[in-house]
Amino acid sequence: MGIYDGLKDAAGILKEAGKIEQYRQILEVQEKLLEMQKQISELETENKTLKEKLDTKGQLVFENNSYWLVQGGKNDGPYCSCCWDDNRKTIRMQPCGNPAYFSCPKCENKSVKIYADGPGRGANPVHVYRPNYL
């Protein structure tokens, strides 16, 4: 039997016995218990989110104005540096015409992808076409 069920049974007994003041006190305790359970649930969700962001932070590599997730020797990205630095959101950048250029769909931050496989040594270089650059 849980705490809530125990309080419910006690409230029923008090109501039948005509102990209205004690019955109201039990109802108040039940209400506070439900509020506390809701708060615990919200804190558990927030805790999980913060742990995920902390894990992500440890796997991010910053290069060429964007972040890359490096997991088990595999690179994933690019992710917007502005969105991550500002509010810790990993927003995947999208190619813009030339496959070497990327833009964030949320804040329109721009990035150049220099490597086909992401950042780091040994990655395959990509030819970057830069109009109006000499």
Domain spans, the chain: 3-54, 64-134
Q: Which pLDDT does position 42 carry in this prediction?
A: 96
Asked if residues 75 and 68 have their Cβ atoms less than 8 Å apart, the reply is yes
30-88 residue pLDDT tens: 889 889 999 999 999 999 988 888 777 778 888 777 888 887 667 777 888 888 888 88
d(CA 124, CA 117) in angstroms, rounded, equals 6
Residue 133 pLDDT > 70:
no
